Amino acid sequence: MNYKYFLFTIPILFLSMACNYEPHTHGEEQKHKDHAHRSPHTQGSEHAHEHGHSGGHDQGHANKHMNTTSFEDLVKRFDSPERDAYQQPEKVLAYIGDVEGKKILDIGAGTGYFSFKLAAKGANVIAGDVDDRFQNYIKEKIEKENAPKVTLKKLPYDSPALAVGEVDKVLIVNTYHHIEDRINYFSKVLKGLNTGGELLVIDFKKQDGPGPPVKMKMSPDFITAELRKAGFTEFELNDSLLEHQYIIRAK
Tens digits of residue pLDDT in 61-92: 544 445 567 889 989 999 999 999 999 999 99
Domain with 150, as residue range(s), is 75-250
pLDDT in tens, 32-52: 333 333 333 333 333 343 333
> Is residue 240 in a domain?
yes
Three-class SS state of 27: helix
Residue 209 counted as domain residue? yes
Amino acid letter at 93?
Answer: L
Residue 41 covered by a domain: no
CATH of the domain at 135: 3.40.50.150
Tens digits of per-residue pLDDT, 146-205? 999 999 999 999 999 999 999 999 999 999 999 999 999 999 999 999 999 999 999 999
pLDDT attached to residue 67 = 54
Position 9 in a domain: no
Q: Flag whether 69 is in a domain.
A: no
Residue 48 lies in a domain: no
In DSSP notation, 109-135 reads -TTTHHHHHHHHTT-EEEEEES-HHHH
Q: Is residue 11 part of a domain?
A: no
C-alpha torsion angle, residues 36, 247, 130, 163 (rounded to 10): -110
Total tally of structural domains belonging to the chain: 1
Residue 223 in any domain: the answer is yes
